[in-house]
Amino acid sequence: MTASDLAYVPFVDVEEMMHLVLDIGLETCLADLTAYIEEDFRRWPLFDKTPRVASHSRDGVIELMPTSDGREYAFKYVNGHPANMKKGLQTVTAFGLLADVESGYPVLLSEMTILTALRTGATSALATRILARPGSQTLAMIGNGAQSEFQALALKTVCGVTALRLFDTDPEATRKCMANLADSGLAVTICNSAEEAVQGADIVTTCTADKQIATVLHDNMIGAGVHINAIGGDCPGKTELQSDILNRADVFVEYPPQTRIEGEIQQMAPDFPVTELWEVLSGAAEGRRDSRQITLFDGVGFAIEDFSALRWLRDQVVRLDRGQRLDMIADPDDPRDLFGMIERERHRRAAA
């Protein structure tokens, strides 16, 4: 590949992302992403790791999420603005970049609003597969917004969930979710409260948007053996679970320095015990011990998951010859003569 070839960076816009997902198949995408994330979690020690760089405001947060495995580098720009929905805007938007470490040249630029939704569902599916009781089939979904369908389909595809119990404080969100999943093969039940939704559930996923200290789940709602995916937390000052649940559960996280700032465990003492998910996958730590154990995945989203998602997308773009090519990198004939490149363009325009 020549330097001129590298100057043109593959780009996946929103329309192309939708077409890729539909052509590959949504559930296939979720299963494949789960596998890519698991592969990268299994080589976790190779990655640069840092809590996301956050700029908080009264209205929300804007964050950068960087990481590298030494061969490739990735970052994601992402925001979280809960009031956006009232303005007809997305609560979460994102884009990201994958680059070659040796040259520093980008190899992929992509929208990541859709891709983040896919990778978040896939990460929950990975955690659920290794932590939930074998044979778990019923999922309670508390919070039925933009992420809910991806969560449900990921757990259906990867974990064998067959029944879904829905609750949201906004009935329109629940009706939206049920309509979107009408042909999914899931048996969907609309519930009138979170208490009703968790009845008989093997798995409980909380995914609410309000950035505040809230109690979506109370301790008396969680019975023995349940697995919880608490994925709504993504910033300081936002929680969904009563702290008594954390004291009863074994808590599993992505990256403790970030989760202690943003996750459910921000409620707890700085030395509150947690297990990192990659340690369970590598065999360095124990996951589920028995059928009565309560397991809790305190998922806030971490940069390595976005790295995995961008790596998966790059492979699909290459395999299927998809995406646009953006002229993003200045490419003078002599790398030392960037000024001359501008001058030659001046002369070309004058002669035209």
Find the catalytic residue in 40, 168, 202, 234: 234
Q: Are 130 and 158 in contact (CB under 8 A)?
A: no
Specify the pLDDT at position 339. 95
Q: Are 306 and 74 in contact (CB under 8 A)?
A: yes
Rounded Cα gap, residues 282 and 13, in angstroms: 35
Residue 280 identity (one-letter amino acid): V
Average pLDDT of the segment spanning 227-244: 88
40 among known catalytic residues: no
Residue 320 has pLDDT above 60, yes or no: yes
Tokens read off for 178: 């049920």
Q: Which of 43-57, 77-91, 253-267 has the lowest mean pLDDT?
A: 77-91
Reported as a single tens digit per residue, the pLDDT across 213-232 is 678 999 999 999 999 999 98
Query: Model pTM?
Result: 0.94
Reported as a single tens digit per residue, the pLDDT across 164-198 is 999 999 999 999 999 999 999 999 999 999 999 99
Which one is predicted more confidently, 2 or 101?
101
Rounded Cα gap, residues 282 and 246, in angstroms: 24
| Closest of 114, 107, 148, 76 to residue 8, by C-alpha | 107
The mean of the pLDDT values for the chain is: 95
Average pLDDT of the segment spanning 301-320: 98
